[in-house]
Amino acid sequence: MLAEGPAIILVEPQLGENIGMVARAMANFGLGELRLVSPRDGWPNEKARAAASRADHVIDAAVMFEDTASAIADLNFVYATTARPRDNFKPVRGPVEAAAELRSRFAAGQKTGILFGRERWGLTNEEVALADEIVTFPVNPAFASLNIAQAVLLMSYEWMKPGDQAVRPAESRSEPAAKQHIESLVAYLDRVLDERGYFRTEDKKPKMIENLRALVTRPGFTVEELAVLRGVLTSLEKFSPKKPRGSGAPDAG
Contacts with a copy of itself in 6-45 (CB under 8 A)?
Answer: 24-25, 27-30
- Using a 10 angstrom Cβ sphere, with 0-12 exposed, 13-18 middle and 19 or more buried, the burial of residue 161 is middle
- Identity of residue 229: L
Site string for a copy of itself, 152-191 (x = CB under 8 A): -xx--x--xxxxxx--x---xxx--------------x--
CA-to-CA distance for 22 and 4, rounded, in angstroms? 16
Expressed in percent and rounded to 5, the helix, strand and coil fractions of the chain are 40, 10, 45
Q: Which of 144, 170, 187, 223 binds a copy of itself (CB under 8 A)?
A: 144
Identify which of residues 63 and 228 has a Cβ nearer to a copy of itself in the complex.
228
| Span interacting with a copy of itself, options 41-49, 73-81, 121-129, 144-152, rule CB under 8 A | 144-152
Dump strand ranges (E) for the chain: 7-11, 34-37, 63-65, 77-81, 92-93, 112-116, 133-135
CB of 66 to a copy of itself, least distance (A): 28
Identify which of residues 40 and 245 has a Cβ nearer to a copy of itself in the complex.
245
Q: Which of 92, 100, 108, 178 binds a copy of itself (CB under 8 A)?
A: 92
CB of 168 to a copy of itself, least distance (A): 7
220 φ/ψ sector (left φ>0, alpha ψ -120 to 50, else beta): left
CB of 231 to a copy of itself, least distance (A): 7
Q: Does residue 195 interact with a copy of itself by CB under 8 A?
A: yes
Dihedral angle at the C-alpha atoms of 234, 236, 239, 245, nearest 10 degrees?
Answer: 70
φ and ψ at 212, to 5 degrees? -65, -40
Q: Does residue 139 interact with a copy of itself by CB under 8 A?
A: yes
Dihedral angle at the C-alpha atoms of 33, 90, 177, 73, nearest 10 degrees?
Answer: -40
Q: Does residue 225 interact with a copy of itself by CB under 8 A?
A: yes
- Identity of residue 118: R
Identify which of residues 71 and 189 has a Cβ nearer to a copy of itself in the complex.
189
Q: Does residue 142 interact with a copy of itself by CB under 8 A?
A: yes
Q: Does residue 120 interact with a copy of itself by CB under 8 A?
A: no
Identify which of residues 1 and 64 has a Cβ nearer to a copy of itself in the complex.
1
Identify which of residues 44 and 91 has a Cβ nearer to a copy of itself in the complex.
91
CB count within 10 Å of CB 90 equals 20
